[in-house]
Amino acid sequence: TNANDVVPAFMETGTYRPRASVQTISNAMDVGSPSNFERMQDLFGTAAADFAPFLEADGWSDDETREAMRDVYTRTGYMLDPHGAVGYLGIKKALKTRPNSLGVLLETAHPAKFAEVTESTLGVTPDMPERLRAFAEKEKEAHAVPNNYEAVKSIVEG
């Protein structure tokens, strides 16, 4: 995770303490009360020791995230977005104790979506893919929807 390290703190202390989120450069990870935590407890149990055989959790600062973005770009020419950089840091740490393992990182966002962070970190402006540009240029729409299944279903089905 980024600085919103509720799960890593749980793994370290054994106490789950949700809190207000902190704003970071990897903003999709800015969650102080992860909605998936209850699902994780259903899968693994309620104690940190129940999670331990299946989960490693670490938190990374914005500075560490930016350094990972710079490192990867300098060595390979590949531009990580901030979220991918957090994932990269997790894989990099995990592989230190697993010398015969392979880590796979699947990026879920393009660095152009986070152009400000990418430019200030790498000094390079990422090319905006046409599909992302077309999406960004669309007019935003918002609809107030009552909290019930049928109302949401009618909006989704159009």
User: CA–CA separation, 24 vs 44, rounded Å?
Assistant: 29
User: CA–CA separation, 42 vs 37, rounded Å?
Assistant: 9
Kindly give the confidence (pLDDT) of every residue in the chain, 158 residues in length, as a single tens digit, with 9 standing for 90 and above: 999 999 999 999 999 999 999 999 999 999 999 988 989 999 999 999 998 898 889 999 999 999 999 999 999 999 999 999 999 999 999 999 998 999 999 988 899 999 999 999 999 999 999 998 888 888 988 878 889 999 989 888 87
Scanning the chain, the segments in alpha helix (DSSP H) are 6-13, 37-44, 48-51, 62-76, 82-96, 115-122, 130-137, 149-157
Strand, coil or helix: what is 28? Answer: helix
Which residue, among 59, 110, 115, has the nearest Cα to 87 in the 3D structure? 59
